[in-house]
Amino acid sequence: MNRFKTLLCALALLALGGCASMFQHTGERQAGSIVDYLYPNAKEAPKMEPTVTRLRLPVRVGIAFVPGGGRAAPQDAEQMQLLEKVKASFSEYDYIGSIEVIPSAYLRLRGGFDNLDQVARMFNVDVIALVSYDQIRFNDTNRMAVLYWTVVGAYLIKGDQYDVQTMVDAAVFDVRSRKLLFRAPGMSQVKGSSTLAGYSREVRGAQSDGYAQAVERMIPALQMQLASFKERAKSDPGIQVERGEGYRGGRGAGGFGWTAALLLAGAACWIVRRRA
């Protein structure tokens, strides 16, 4: 009987060791790389050749996630929600015209600029903001927590620690010249702990939160770049801007804008009345 108990205890310890090793120091990564998408055959970092970009105002913009992989990569519905937030950043500027949120299904893995050209024609856009992402989940397990979980139940001890780090980057390209106009990054870190039984659910939530927080932190940087580009376009010899038919944009296109025009009209009326 004693030998049976000893054997049973030994088997239990082996099982505990297996459970602990199964969850210790494991991790997961999912990424959508803009380099892999646009330069699928590149053996080194791509060199941006100096080219002249011709923009016709108002600029028609497309926004899309770079195609990637990984079990926890953002799904289509989640991508569309995040891209709607990015879209709002572009809509605040008078030199931006229509803004199309492009489902990732239209972008092929390693599709290159040929695929980007097809997407631009399909959605009738001049410029595309490609949102790339890289998320890493680190996991570290407390062995004693797993031991107590085995003895008294998973819901009593928080044993699994997780750390989810996410980086997103919006790179805005002129499709015709294939020139990078500007980029804006955003990063987040979500840490937490969970019972072993609820670990998968908690980690999935942390990974979704990681994408949402990274995008939220990217948006101010994107707005800063959009405002900076509006000013840079006035003096950069590599950017030529022309007005489209019927365009009555603001100062970013070299004009006064509707607000200034109304103020001038009001001032003129006041002067006429004073003279009368």
Q: What is the mean pLDDT of residues 228-253?
A: 79
- Write down the mean pLDDT value for the chain: 79
CB atoms within 10 A of CB 222: 22
Q: Which 8-state DSSP code applies to residue 99?
A: E
Residue 35 has pLDDT above 50, yes or no: yes
The pLDDT of residue 17 is 45
- How many whole angstroms separate alpha carbon 219 and alpha carbon 154? 40
Taking each helix axis from N to C end, the angle separating 76-90 and 199-232, rounded to the nearest 10 degrees, works out to 30
Predicted pLDDT of residue 275: 54
Residues contacting 167, CB < 8 A, separation 6+: 133, 134, 135, 185, 186, 187, 214
Enter the tokens of residue 107.
Answer: 């972008």
Q: Dmax of the chain from CA atoms?
A: 117
Q: Between 246 and 2, whose confidence is greater? A: 246
Highest mean pLDDT among 5-9, 16-20, 222-226: 222-226
* Cβ pair 229, 53 in contact under 8 A: no
* Mean pLDDT of the region 157-186: 88
Domains of the chain: 24-244 (3.30.160.180)
pLDDT single digits (tens) 88-119: 999 989 899 999 999 989 999 999 999 999 99
Average pLDDT over residues 203-230: 94
62-79 tens-digit pLDDT:
999 999 877 767 888 999
CB 230 within 8 A of CB 257: no
* Predicted pLDDT of residue 152: 47
Check: CB of residue 127 under 8 Å from CB of residue 179: no
Arithmetic mean of pLDDT, 230-236 = 91
Residue 42 to residue 110: CA distance in whole angstroms: 11
What is the Cα gyration radius of the chain? 27
Where helices occur in 111-157 by DSSP H, the ranges are 112-123, 143-152
How high is the pLDDT of residue 187? 95
- Count Cβ atoms within 10 A of the Cβ of residue 172 and give its class: 0-12 exposed, 13-18 middle, 19 or more buried: buried
pLDDT (0 to 100) of residue 119: 97
Its pTM surpasses 0.85: no
